[in-house]
Amino acid sequence: MLGWWFKGKRSGKEEQLQGIAISSSLSYKLIFGAIIVALLTLGFGGYLQWASGKRLRQIQGQLQRAMDLEMQAWRTGDEALFESLLDPKAANKVWRWEEIGSFRTLHREDWRGFVTREARLLASRNYRATLEDLELRGDLALVCVRLDDPHTALYDRYLTRFYRRVDDAWLRTSPDPSFWGEEREMKTKHFRFTYRERDAGAIEKVASRIDSLYEELRLALALPLREEKYEVKVFLPERPAFGLRDPYHDIQSPLTFRPTYYSPGEALLRDLSLILIPNLVHQAMGWLPLNNEVEFLTPRGPRLSPEVRNLAWGIEVWWMHQWVPFPSEVEVERREMMCLQLAQGPLSLQAVLAWEFKHTMELDYFPVETVAEYIAEVYGGERFIELLRAVGGKSYGEAISVALGVGQAEFESGWRHFVREVCDLD
């Protein structure tokens, strides 16, 4: 009996040990299986990530190739190449024709059409284009391009391009507003901004400063503040000629085209200064609004001479740079180019004021700005208002005498000495 009992006890213990062994074996198998599944999952996920990255690099390479070919077309004037890079089935049917018209205007003497500010630079500078950022939505791509001028940073730009995949190629296509998000509105003390979501950051930067700048300028020009808010619309141009919208209220999104040395907010403020400052300066000169809704100005009295217009323009540009200064390294380059222009001809105030400007504001190194700088440094910026009021109905020589209390010859002699010191022309 005892033998049976001990035998039974041993048998029970063996069964218990056997059960533990089976349970451990199953646990090990489950753990091993989980590890295998995890490794397979990681491996498959890694493969997908690798494949996705490879596909993205392929797309980036194709887009970079398309940009390189477009830069080649702009440099060489190859119209056939340029046209082959444009989407023939773009969503905006007019976009392609206007792009080609802008290209032809800049490369053919027998063609005249609308030219965008970016097209003017693309045709005149030997740019190297680099893909900076990319956003994909199916067969559409939003691309941020950096344009580098090999000779000077003054003309370096950020440019936004839209592309559509056609078969195995990416063709430049018309802008798609859906990338810019929903329309929004922001009100400040003196302004009402309408814009899209993608421009919100730039709008917020401008809104924090614009009221005080606007009030200071109106005060300096002895102009009363407007009771109604100034309407500003920041828009995405869906085709090149959309740049011909209301020039007193509409501003192209700074994300579409801006100098690399400006943030989107700084670029937007600069574009806004191109609207507001000339407008207010002209009012100070005695020009009148055509109606109460839009401050579109018309001169009172006889047509102004080029000398008077350019003197006012120099003051406007001086104020613009108070609002949005150039970075120091860019200012040095800009000043060198301006001084080079002055050194090429006789250093005559009349010649500078009669200067026929052939460039857009994007190429602004105007010698006439030195006149405003000289007045601000020697006589004080507060004398601008007296000069503008005087120049509205007189020649520039008479206006200088009335506003500054010196004769034209004395003023010109002082300005010439100022320029020679600034530009080291002696």
Q: What is the pLDDT of residues 201-210, one digit of tens each?
A: 999 999 989 9
Which phi-psi region, left, alpha or beta, contains residue 252 (left: φ > 0; alpha: ψ -120 to 50)?
A: beta
Is 46 contained in some domain?
no
Beta-carbon contacts of 116 under 8 Å, excluding residues fewer than 6 positions away, are 102, 240, 243
Q: Is residue 97 part of a domain?
A: yes
pLDDT of residue 240: 72
pLDDT, one tens digit for every residue, the chain (426 residues): 444 444 444 455 555 545 555 555 656 666 766 677 666 666 655 655 655 678 899 999 999 999 999 999 999 999 999 999 999 999 998 999 999 999 999 998 877 777 888 898 899 899 999 999 999 999 999 999 999 999 888 889 999 999 999 988 999 999 999 999 999 999 999 999 999 999 999 999 999 899 999 999 999 888 888 888 999 999 998 877 655 566 678 899 999 999 999 999 999 999 999 889 988 888 888 765 543 333 444 444 446 677 777 788 888 888 998 999 988 888 888 888 778 777 776 677 777 776 655 544 444 456 788 889 999 999 998 888 888 888 766 777 888 888 899 998 899 899 888 888 888 766
- Residue 399 tokens, joined: 């206006």
Number of domains in the chain: 3
Q: Which of 155, 173, 191 is the last residue of a domain?
A: 173
pLDDT for position 351: 72
CB-facing half-sphere around the CA of 80: CA atoms within 13 A: 0
Query: Residue 339 falls within a domain, yes or no?
Result: yes
Residue 207 identity:
A
Tens of pLDDT, residue by residue over 270-301, are 999 988 998 888 888 876 554 333 344 444 44
Q: Which domain holds residue 81?
A: 55-173
Report yes or no on whether pTM surpasses 0.75: yes
Phi-psi region of 288 (alpha: psi -120 to 50; beta: other; left: phi over 0): beta
DSSP 146: E
Asked whether residue 333 is domain-assigned, the answer is yes
In DSSP notation, 286-350 reads: T-EESSSSS--EE-SSSPPPHHHHHHHHHHHHHHHHHHSPPPHHHHHHHHHHHHHHHHTS---HH
Q: What element of type H or E holds 55?
A: helix 2-76
Task: Tell whether 327 and 213 lie within a shared domain.
Answer: no
Q: Where are the beta strands (DSSP E) in 156-273?
A: 157-166, 169-172, 183-187, 191-196, 230-235, 250-252, 257-259
Note whether residue 221 is domain-resident: yes
* Chain length of the chain: 426
